[in-house]
Amino acid sequence: MLLLLASFTLFAAAGCSNGAGNGDSGSGNSVSANVSQTSSEVQQDPWSGVTPATISDTKSGIESLQSAVKEFKQAVEAEQTEEIKKLAAEMAGVWVAMQADVKSANGSLHETIDGELQRLMAEVASDKRSKDVLIELDYSLYQHLRDLKQHF
């Protein structure tokens, strides 16, 4: 799964634009630079290579993720592959931006959401992605983000 996640970060880096959230003209370069990390380095940080999105605070990050999760479901059901990938990359960026805060607030929820997002990214990156699996993961994320919002 981590190798699939690594593949995802490659395509996310390719698909990400400055509009993905951080407005940093150097974002593409910083993601490209991380592509050359060794697999052992990727294993240590599953989100290496993902540029953190710009968020004003964690609460707005959660809300942004919640919106993306809903749009993701619609994209999956409409079989809009590019949109699926774009939204997945967007979710990854927002998560990376806020995950430290989330971990401090609730380690258990952090672990759950992190795991779900990793699985979602892996499924998106897979050649045999399953609509049912994506929707189930997305729904699970929806619920856990709802729980998380109560902490902020």
Neighbouring residues of 84: CB distance < 8 A, sequence distance ≥ 6: 72, 75, 76, 124, 134
Distance between CA 4 and CA 86 in Å, rounded? 17
Q: Which stretch binds another protein (CB under 8 A): 41-49, 53-61, 66-74, 121-129?
A: 66-74
Binding test (CB under 8 A) with another protein, winner from 7, 105, 142, 151: 142
Q: Which structure tokens are listed for 136?
A: 């189930």
CB of 137 to another protein, least distance (A): 11
- Decide if residue 60 touches another protein (CB under 8 A): no
Q: Which stretch binds another protein (CB under 8 A): 7-15, 33-41, 91-99, 131-139?
A: 131-139
- Decide if residue 133 touches another protein (CB under 8 A): no
Residues binding another protein (CB under 8 A): 69-70, 73-74, 77, 131, 135-136, 139, 142-143, 146-147
